[in-house]
């Protein structure tokens, strides 16, 4: 990266940190527990329980949900019932259901369901991770994603793209910002509805997140929606989410209970817990339309399904002030009715 570009980014970062008003009054939460949350669990969760989880997320007010992945069943047994989950989704006009797509075959399976609103594509930032995750190098992943984005646009289907291991790779180490911007530029040419940066293995820190999203916004302009995906492996997930907000990111991924992790990455742990993120945003006065109490109740239910404790902090501590209805956003109903 040239000295001139570094100085320009430093100036922009200083401006972002100095201007609290740049934080949006509203943020969209993408609920990823049915897919990223469950994919790395050793206990196979039934299709009925997955649909119940989706129902509870909808009841909490979630309106963007990543519901499944069209990965090979032998490689990801937890997602082997992708078509069955899709067939059981309640069809409603106020929700965007997303399916994760890793290759052309996965995209074809998604289309065949005729039940999903959006294709979510993944392009890792390093060849080593791309080979383990998708069996091809970065350039092949970019080419695949561009074909799918082009086809989806022609069909009128929403399609977005996520750059995985954007803040560090467990196999190759540090990832250069210039590499992220190069990949994002190629993807943006095909008109995705959104581009995301994912801290797949939870190695990123807030300064790095802020720098990357500011640079991405500078490259793509204000017309491209941005999304952040963070794992809490090293206890930086919420801080990274806040940094993303400072950079103007409109959507944040989170998983009820804080479950999740990538099966192809060593020592992978869960996503930010939806309830922990919602607590922070609610106390900051940032609207999400999601009910914190229902998220906490769902995290407790999820423990019974998985037969273990989940990482959620709010499930242990509850909201604040104690004794009051916690920081709910929107008008979602409380209580869990299957």
The structural domains of the chain, with segments of one domain joined by +, span 21-317
Q: Residue 269 has what pLDDT?
A: 86
pLDDT in single tens digits along all 338 residues of the chain: 556 656 666 666 555 544 544 577 899 999 999 999 999 999 999 999 999 999 999 999 999 999 999 999 999 999 999 999 999 999 999 999 999 999 999 999 999 999 999 999 999 999 999 999 999 999 999 999 999 999 999 999 999 999 999 999 999 999 999 999 999 999 999 999 999 999 999 999 999 999 999 999 999 999 999 999 999 999 999 999 999 999 999 999 999 999 998 888 887 788 999 999 999 999 999 999 999 999 999 999 999 999 999 999 999 999 998 765 544 443 333 345 44
Helix (H, G, I), strand (E, B) or coil at 277: helix
Q: How many residues does the chain have?
A: 338
Q: Residue 268 has what pLDDT?
A: 78
Is residue 164 within 8 Å of residue 123, measured between CB atoms? yes
CB-count exposure of residue 277 (10 Å: 0-12, 13-18, 19+): buried
Distance between CA atoms of residues 55 and 39, nearest Å: 18
Distance between CA atoms of residues 286 and 170, nearest Å: 33
C-beta neighbour count of 316 within 10 angstroms: 11
pTM above 0.85, yes or no: yes
262 belongs to the catalytic site: yes
Alpha-carbon Rg of the chain, whole angstroms? 19
Q: Which residues pair with 253 in a beta bridge?
A: 30
What counts of helices (H) and strands (E) characterise the chain?
12, 8
Fold for the domain defined by 21-317: TIM Barrel (3.20.20)
Residue with tokens 């300064």: 207
- Which of 86, 141, 169, 262 does the annotation list as catalytic? 262
CB-count exposure of residue 239 (10 Å: 0-12, 13-18, 19+): middle
Helix (H, G, I), strand (E, B) or coil at 177: helix
């Amino acid at each position: 990266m040239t000295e001139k570009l570094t100085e320009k980014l430093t100036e922009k970062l200083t401006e972002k940190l100095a201007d609290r008003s740049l934080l949006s009054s509203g943020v969209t939460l993408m609920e990823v527990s049915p897919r990223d949350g469950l994919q790395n669990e050793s206990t196979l969760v039934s299709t009925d329980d997955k649909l119940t989880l989706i129902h509870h997320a909808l009841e909490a007010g979630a309106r963007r949900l990543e519901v499944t992945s069209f990965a090979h069943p032998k490689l990801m047994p937890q997602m082997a019932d992708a078509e069955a989950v899709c067939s059981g989704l309640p069809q409603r006009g106020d929700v965007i259901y997303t399916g994760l797509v890793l290759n052309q075959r996965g995209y074809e399976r998604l289309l065949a369901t005729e039940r999903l609103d959006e294709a979510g594509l993944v392009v890792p930032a390093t060849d080593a991770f791309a080979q383990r995750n998708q069996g091809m190098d970065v350039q092949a992943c970019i080419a695949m994603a561009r074909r799918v984005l082009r086809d989806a646009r022609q069909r009128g289907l929403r399609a977005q793209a996520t750059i995985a291991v954007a803040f560090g790779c467990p196999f190759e180490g540090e990832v250069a910002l210039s590499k992220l911007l190069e990949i994002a530029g190629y993807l943006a040419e095909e008109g995705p509805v959104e581009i995301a940066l994912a801290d797949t293995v939870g190695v990123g820190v807030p300064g790095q997140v802020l720098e990357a999203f500011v640079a991405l916004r500078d490259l793509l302009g204000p017309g491209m929606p941005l999304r952040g995906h963070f794992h809490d492996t090293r206890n930086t997930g919420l801080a990274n989410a806040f940094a993303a907000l400072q950079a103007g990111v409109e959507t944040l991924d989170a998983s009820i209970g804080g479950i999740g992790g990538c099966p192809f990455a060593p020592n992978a742990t869960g996503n930010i817990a939806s309830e922990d993120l919602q607590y922070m945003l609610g106390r900051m006065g940032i609207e999400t339309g999601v009910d914190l109490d229902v998220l906490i109740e769902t995290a407790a239910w999820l423990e019974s399904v998985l037969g273990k404790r989940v990482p959620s902090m709010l499930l242990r501590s509850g909201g604040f002030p104690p004794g009051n209805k916690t920081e709910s956003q929107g008008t979602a109903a409380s209580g869990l009715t299957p």
